[in-house]
Structure 1
């Protein structure tokens, strides 16, 4: 059982509370952004539903492919009941869920720009749950290293009292900064979908780098499973960014940088 808060006779799962709050915050930001852009309608609400359903499925079922050897992976029932709660799995599932939902209703409009700031702020809130309940990161001698309770699951450093990287704090800071930058960019990057592409690219690079401070198991060439997933993702997103640059989608931003320099 994970870390819980005792409220009366109820045991409230800490991680689940903050994941729920993150989803709520993201939903509110999405609605506000959709209203600001005049895109709040049946189609955008269907897209949100697809994201929520797909994200939940992705987080639960990502454990099915945790190991290269299929014999080491859980069954479908086990993955659903005790899924790895992978953020990357949830994001991928949400993306697929939006595509499926839009295909079902025949909607071809771009909704990614509505999701980008919502996801960033929602992730910042959700990661507080990870900070309070999971192994912080790898041991470090840096002055801002933190200590976690010895009862923290899968955390050898917690048992020995080692200072560890506050990897989830790094991500919370990144997501809050990304939220602010996305709000600044939304009037400058006007081609539909490009704000979302920029966010995904930035998060992929950040998450690949921050994995070096995380407590995740390395599987090959001293890289973790998320890093191998992110390497493939960064190649795909890199091609997408190059295409956007060639088509002039970021020209206004590039021109501003030239003037500023």
Structure 2
């Protein structure tokens, strides 16, 4: 059922509230950024719709491949009813949703740079719900370790009263910092699509390492499922970053104006 707030006659799902607020924050930033760039039109709104639909489906159905043994995975109906609430699944679904939406209307323009700051702020807000409702992380002796209620789902450390890494707070801090940096970068990285590439690359690296503080199950070689997914992603973004660097897309950022690519 998840953690719920009791407001009058209503039971409000805490995680769902902050996911909704995150989507709202991301949508507002997207519209403002699109207006600033003169790109606010039907095409960009269709892209947002594709992102919302794809993200929702990605979060719901990413649990279908949670286990290598297919017998342990939920059915299609169970995945739709309960979902896995996977952020990585949601991001992948949103990306595919944008591609499909743009293909349907025949739009070839790049929209990733509009999404980059929007996603960063939306993730920061949405992760507050995770911080308040999910197992914080692995046990730690660091002074900022936190204690979570014993009723927190799937949290053995909560039952024993251990101090744990506030892993979601780490991510909130990262996403807020990324939001600020992306606003600073948008006038320095102007080649279409590169701002989004930089954000995805930074988040993939951060998320891989922050997984070592998360409470996720290790499946092979002391790495979690998200880390194995991210290893493949890091190879892809590494190749993409190298291509952008070779073509001079980051020259202005690196102070290399006028250097031939």
TM-score band w.r.t. shorter chain:
over 0.9
**Structure 1 residues 164-243: aligned runs within 5 Å:** 164-243=164-243
CA displacement 1:22-76 (0-9 Å, x = unmatched): 0000000000000000000000000000000000000000000000111110000
Tell me the TM-score normalized by structure 1: 0.98
1:130 Cα deviation from its structure 2 partner = 0.1
Query: How far, CA to CA, are the matches of 1:223 and 1:81 in structure 2?
Result: 28
Query: How far, CA to CA, are the matches of 1:101 and 1:183 in structure 2?
Result: 26
Task: Confirm or deny that 1:28 pairs with 2:28.
Answer: yes
Query: How far, CA to CA, are the matches of 1:253 and 1:23 in structure 2?
Result: 30
CA displacement 1:94-152 (0-9 Å, x = unmatched): 00000000000000000000000000000000000000000000000000000000000
Query: For residue 64 of structure 1, what is the aligned residue in structure 2?
Result: 64
SS of residue paired to 2:249: coil
SS of residue paired to 2:11: strand
Task: Confirm or deny that 1:86 pairs with 2:86.
Answer: yes
**Structure 1 residues 2-151: aligned runs within 5 Å:** 2-151=2-151
- In the alignment, structure 1 segments of 5+ residues that lack a partner are none
SS of residue paired to 1:146: coil
Query: How far, CA to CA, are the matches of 2:170 and 2:27 in structure 1?
Result: 23
Query: How far, CA to CA, are the matches of 1:250 and 1:70 in structure 2?
Result: 44
Superposition CA RMSD, Å: 0.9
- In the alignment, structure 2 segments of 5+ residues that lack a partner are none
Query: How far, CA to CA, are the matches of 2:95 and 2:23 in structure 1?
Result: 15
Query: How far, CA to CA, are the matches of 2:171 and 2:8 in structure 1?
Result: 33
SS of residue paired to 1:11: strand
